[in-house]
Amino acid sequence: MTGTDTEVGKTVVTAGIAAIAGEHGHRVAVIKPAQTGVRDGEPGDVDVVRRLAGDINTRELRRYPDPLAPDTAARRSGIEHVTPAEVAEAAADLNTSHDLVLVEGAGGLLVRLDAKGGSLADVAWSLAAPVVIVARAGLGTLNATALTAEVATRRGLNVAGVVVGAWPAEPGLAETCNLTDLPVAAGAPLLGVLDEGIGTLSPGAFVVAAERGLSPWFGGRFDPEQFAAGLPSCDRGMSL
């Protein structure tokens, strides 16, 4: 699970996929390789996932107090870096006892985990795991999504699709048009659109919202054509 940027909804999308899989009886684990900007005793992303998705196994490998890239945060804190090899080993270990293992990155695909420049891209390559891109809905998202997908493809990764992490209650022209253009930018299908703010719902209401907003690829019911049909057309009107 990677994002085109920070604060795009990765954790809520990860929780949504985990919640649906758990609802279907699957054994699910979620790994957060590096949690930054959170001190000991404070809730992190895995805590959000557990609150929303229920009784699933989570593992946070490293925690750094500064809200920075993991490599930088590790240097400042004096806490050991987390490496792609360590993340891949943890994922492989959990895979032996779970049906689905989700790895949620920090920021984007190439954010540095360690001093050697290791990133989530290296983790995905090591595991031969598909990559889900979580993107913004509005202006700027197409370029960021295209860059993420292009580097993933160049590194031999399989981009499974793109999910909009936070769909506004009142979408504008950019958001509406981006629904058509995001799959083109990603070179992969639109696999979901999650409503903004669903992370505040109770677990029961959250899984219902997740099933509505995520593709059957994840066990949900999202249909991109049906969703787009309920929005104003992006096509320019003809002048008479």
Catalytically active residues are: 32
Beta-carbon contacts of 117 under 8 Å, excluding residues fewer than 6 positions away, are: 71
* Burial status of residue 217 (CB atoms within 10 A of its CB: 0-12, 13-18, 19 or more): middle
* C-alpha–C-alpha distance, residues 149 and 25, integer Å: 31
For 5-45, the DSSP string reads SSSSSHHHHHHHHHHHHHHTT--EEEEEEEEES--TTS--H
Residue 135: beta bridge partners? Answer: 164
Which residue, chain included where needed, has tokens 């249909």?
223
User: What DSSP character marks residue 140?
Assistant: T
**HSE of 103 in the Cβ direction (CA atoms, 13 Å)?**
30
One-letter amino acid at 39 equals R
Strand 131-135 with 159-167, pairing: parallel
